Each structure stands twice: as structure tokens, then as C-alpha cells.
Amino acid sequence: MFNLPIQTKYSRAPLLIIFFSIILTLTEPISSSLFAYDRNQLNNFQWWRLITGHFLHTNTTHLLLNTAGLALLWALHGHYYKMPRYLMQFFALCLGTAIGLYLFAEQMQWYVGLSGVLHGLFVIGAYFDIRNKFKTGWLMLIGVWLKVVHEQIYGASEGVAELIAANVAIDAHLFGTITGSIIILYYFVLNKIQNQKETS
């Protein structure tokens, strides 16, 4: 039987992220001018934008899509991590996605949204499914990578671009997925070391 991880220890972190995303949406356009990923401002050492840009959205539809995605991933995998681990992963994905854009996607001058981070959370959740012997974890992990590769070759859905009133940031999806993959590689190595200590 499927149970939602509604206990406070599992739900507090995603609820905080949704709360701050809503607050920043309500304070537009000031919030975007101060907190969006903006390459020119990053060049002026406004490094907080590497994280805060992910909490902003282009419009209400974009906000609803992203927060619905966050809620869905919480429903699927929220029981795997309490608040400290969740937030560490979340901020690592924010930084990994934004730094990837800054270093390797110079054409992207401005970016907002959670989609890159969501791709990374999807990868991490799939890994924990695999560790817990759920074969669907492999399908999810392979599926997200196939989606990202397809976007890199053929581009994003025009329908989604119309909904969010902006180009879909497929490079953010790529770097979020890469960052998530680096995180699960870390967990894999750490788990191997722990198993070796237990058997020695």
C-alpha cells in the first residue's frame, strides 16, 4: 500500500521551498531584479543568485508546474530523506545547475525555475529506489537521461514554452541531471565503503 510521507520530518523541506517560491512570485518584479539568475549580475559577484534564481518563476503557470513536480517527487521519494539531507541535496542541485549554466551555457543570460533541480531530485530518488530493490528505479533513471538527451538533440516542447511564457531551459535540465548523477555516485561510493567496513 502506498503511503504519503506526510510526517513533518519528511514534508517540512519541500513545503518551505514551495512557500518561498510563492512569496517571491507575489513580490514580482522586485524579486526577479534582486534574485534571478542573471549572468551580468553574477559577473558583478552577486553569487546568491546561483541559488535564489531557482525559487523564481516566469508566471503563475510556471510556478504551479514546478511546485506540482516538487510535490510529486515528494510523494514518490520523500520518505528517503529528512529535512537536513533534503536541503543539502536541494542546495547542491541549485549550485550544480547554476554553475553548469554559468560555465558551459554562456548563451543563457537569464534563468528562473526549479526544473533543473527537479531533474536532479528525480535522479536521486530513482537511485534510492534501486538501492531498495525497486526495479522501477532503473526505468526512472534511464528514462530521465533519455529525456534529457532527446531535448539536447531535438529541443524542448513548444507547448511547455507557451505555458511558461519563456524558452524551456533544456541546459538546466541537463546540468541538474548531471549534478544529481554526481550526488548518487557519491552515495554509491559511500555505501560501498560502509559495506566493506561492516564485512571486514
pLDDT value at 166 more than 60: yes
pLDDT of residue 34: 98
Report how far residue 44's alpha carbon sits from residue 199's, in angstroms, rounded to the nearest whole number.
52
pLDDT of residue 200: 66
Give the DSSP per-residue string, 72-113: HHHHHHGGG--HHHHHHHHHHHHHHHHHHHHHH-TT--EE--
For the stretch 38-61, pLDDT in tens is 999 999 999 999 999 999 999 999
Domain boundaries, the chain: 8-199
How sure is the predictor about 174, in pLDDT bands with cuts at 50, 70 and 90?
A: very high
Average pLDDT over residues 4-23: 95
Report how far residue 117's alpha carbon sits from residue 52's, in angstroms, rounded to the nearest whole number.
12
For the stretch 74-96, pLDDT in tens is 999 999 999 999 999 999 999 99
Place of cell 538501492: 131
Q: Which residues contact 125 (CB under 8 A, 6 or more apart)?
A: 73, 76, 77, 80, 140
pLDDT value at 110 more than 90: yes
* Alpha helices per DSSP H over the chain: 8-26, 30-35, 39-43, 49-52, 60-77, 83-104, 115-131, 136-154, 158-164, 170-199
Cis peptide bond N-terminal to 29, omega within 30: yes
- C-alpha cell, 185: 555516485
Whether 156 contacts 170, CB under 8 Å: yes
Report how far residue 33's alpha carbon sits from residue 16's, in angstroms, rounded to the nearest whole number.
22
Which string of b and e fits 5-16 if b means at least 16 CB within 10 Å? beeeebbebbee
Average pLDDT over residues 124-130: 98
How sure is the predictor about 2, in pLDDT bands with cuts at 50, 70 and 90?
A: low
Assigned CATH for 8-199: 1.20.1540.10
- C-alpha cell, 125: 530518488
Helix (H) or strand (E) holding 168: none
For the stretch 145-163, pLDDT in tens is 999 999 999 988 777 767 7
How sure is the predictor about 3, in pLDDT bands with cuts at 50, 70 and 90?
A: confident
pLDDT value at 1 more than 60: no
Q: Model's pTM, two decimal places?
A: 0.94
